[in-house]
Chain A
Amino acid sequence: QNQVPLFDGHQMFPALGNDNFQFDDYAEGAKRFDNLANLIRASTPTDPFANYQKCSDSNKSDSRPRAGSARDHHSSS
């Protein structure tokens, strides 16, 4: 039967066979890393071809929402 060893954060971790083993706090860091998803969203253009002249809908294309890439957005501001 497997016994799952519990520890309170100060105890050593016997299974790892190292007296100096040190646990560090990564709980917040891991959640914060999810924010990369916002970077991806913010840099995704809705319609990158809106600036090109299109034969059938040249008028409509101007009214379409357009977010540039992060670079375009940044350099134009």
Chain B
Amino acid sequence: EPLSRMDVLSEKIWDYHNKVAQTDEMLQRKLHLRDMLYTAISPVFPMSGLYVVGSSLNGFGNNSSDMDLCLMITNKDLDQKNDAVVVLNLILSTLQYEKFVASQKLILAKVPILRIKFAAPFDDITVDLNANNSVAIRNTHLLCYYSSYDWRVRPLVSVVKEWAKRKGINDANKSSFTSYSLVLMVIHYLQCGTTPKVLPNLQQTYPDRFSNKVDVRTLNVTMPLDQKHDNLEQTSPSEKTTLGELLIGFLDYYANRFDYDHDAISIRQGQRVERAALAARPKMHTSGDKETPPPSSSASSSSLHNNGNNVNAGALTSVMMHHAMSNPHFWRSQWRCVCIEEPFTNSNTAHSIYDEMVFGAIKEAFREAHGELQHNHDLDRLMECEPIKASITNA
């Protein structure tokens, strides 16, 4: 009996995922690089911890992903506008003497980051380091358990990310989705857009493990979940929705079933919520998403190369940072087109989509991709797409 077209699509998705997913070898190189950085940083911050966060450790990384690091120094919230910049500047000064570091750049966003590039053999890895932004540790932990919950989650995210990249809608700087937002969109779909449900709401089902009150040092990172509590129907492998069906269903959900004007995505609540309710709530604390502000805001960066003249940019960058945060456009754009609630703060991870033209093109891209894939079940043709044609109108 020949394989059905759907099974061929499912296997193609799985094969594609295996081709691009982060290999163990790549992870080992990243961990080694992290250890080298920690050896350099620990004389300045002796008790600190250098956490690997983001796609390198949340299960959704591919082999070309950068490495996000979070330097934890205190249990208290570190003021991101001023103190985090001081800490990152200190690290910048320390690392400039290390031969394995090629260049550094301080990037001032809501959560400031130090972007580090390396000499060979680590010249293919870029590090984004933040100071004490512990929410990045929490959402890495949460996403890792989502990515491990069902084998279909990771391959689905891999192809969605690649499709979005080729379509030109996976770039926060061009007013579209970050990878983090795309992952949350897939998780949301698997929580509420499929029958039977593929994913539960982990934060509600296992509050002891995923509460933001748990000290990040005591997060359980070894025990599998006791799945008796999740209330999902147990389905036999033959009854499970295939990977191919899930991909078509995902495109259908965001092309035809999701009401962008009224609905917001909330992984934390495991459901669609009214966007008005989300936007009305106050922000918790520093956000864990790593979006850069819209291009029209005044965030700036200073860079320092090993062979260049050293400038301690601390005071200056602090002033620029303050300017970016107080730019009204930056806040006005926060809840404009697509609403995706960050699971541990009240911020909108999709706030970079503030342009109506780009937003329209994104919705059209979903409709077109759904129509095409539903009709011919051909992953290669889906991936041969052209980038959306929409320029940012108000940049």
| Cβ-based interface call for B280 (8 A) | no
Query: With A15-B86, A16-B86, A34-B57 in contact, do A23 and B151 touch (Cβ < 8 Å)?
Result: no
Q: How far is the CA of A45 from the CA of B3 in the complex (A)?
A: 20
Contact digits for A13-32, partner B, Cβ 8 Å, 1 yes 0 no: 00111100111111111111
Residues of A near B2 (CB, < 8 A) are: 55
Complex interface: chain A residues within 8 A of B57 (CB): 33-34, 36-37, 40
Q: Which residues of A contact B145 (CB under 8 A)?
A: 39
CB < 8 Å neighbour of B148 from A34, A35, A39: A39
Closest partner residue, chain A, to B76 (CB atom) = A22
Instruction: Return chain B residues, CB-CB under 8 Å to A7.
Output: 46
A residues in contact with B7, CB < 8 Å = 49, 52
A71 to chain B, nearest CB (A): 6
User: Closest residue of chain A to B7, judged by CB?
Assistant: A52
The CA-CA distance from A24 to B14 in the complex, in Å, is 43
Is A63 close to B, CB under 8 A?
no
A33 to B216, CA, bound (A): 9
- Is B312 in contact with A2, judged by CB distance below 8 angstroms? yes
Q: Is the CB of A22 within 8 A of B83?
A: no
Chain B positions 337 through 361: 1 when the CB is less than 8 Å from some CB of chain A, otherwise 0: 0000000000000000000000000
Binds A, one of B173-181, B221-229, B384-392: B221-229
Min CB–CB distance B91 → chain A (angstroms): 10
CA distance in complex: A23, B75 (Å): 8
- From A16, which residue of chain B is reached at the shortest CB distance? B83
CB within 8 A of B14: which of A17, A29, A49?
A49
User: A9 vs B149: C-alpha distance in the bound complex, in angstroms?
Assistant: 40
The answer to whether B47 touches A24, judged by C-beta atoms less than 8 angstroms apart, is yes
Instruction: Kindly identify which residue among A2, A26, A48, A70 contacts B49, using a CB–CB cutoff of 8 Å.
Output: A26
Interface flag for B44 (CB, 8 Å): yes
| Contact flag A2-B310 (CB < 8 Å), given A27-B49, A55-B1 | yes
In the assembled complex, B380 has its CB within 8 A of some CB on chain A: no
Say whether B150 contacts A69, CB under 8 Å.
yes
- Assess the A33–B52 pair: CB atoms within 8 A: yes
> What does the 1/0 interface line of B37-70 toward A look like (CB < 8 Å)?
0100011111111111000011100000000000
A45 CA to B155 CA in the complex, in Å?
A: 11
A-B residue pairs in contact (CB < 8 Å), sample of 25 = A2-B312, A4-B90, A6-B43, A17-B82, A22-B74, A22-B75, A23-B48, A23-B73, A24-B47, A24-B72, A25-B49, A26-B48, A26-B49, A29-B49, A35-B222, A37-B27, A38-B222, A39-B59, A39-B148, A39-B224, A40-B57, A49-B10, A55-B2, A69-B149, A70-B224
Chain A residues proximal to chain B, CB less than 8 Å: 2, 4-9, 15-18, 21-45, 48-49, 51-55, 68-72, 74-75
Given A24-B75, A52-B3, A71-B149, 18 more pairs with CB closer than 8 A: A5-B44, A6-B44, A15-B86, A26-B49, A26-B217, A27-B49, A29-B217, A30-B72, A33-B140, A40-B59, A40-B148, A43-B147, A48-B14, A51-B238, A70-B149, A70-B224, A70-B225, A72-B237
**Residues in chain B within 8 A of chain A (CB atoms):** 1-3, 7, 10-11, 14, 24, 27, 31, 38, 42-52, 57-59, 72-76, 82-83, 86-87, 90, 93-94, 137, 140-141, 144-145, 147-152, 154, 216-219, 221-222, 224-225, 227, 234, 237-238, 310, 312
**Among all A-B residue pairs, the 9 with the closest Cβ atoms:** A26-B49, A30-B49, A29-B217, A69-B151, A43-B148, A26-B72, A2-B93, A25-B47, A24-B75
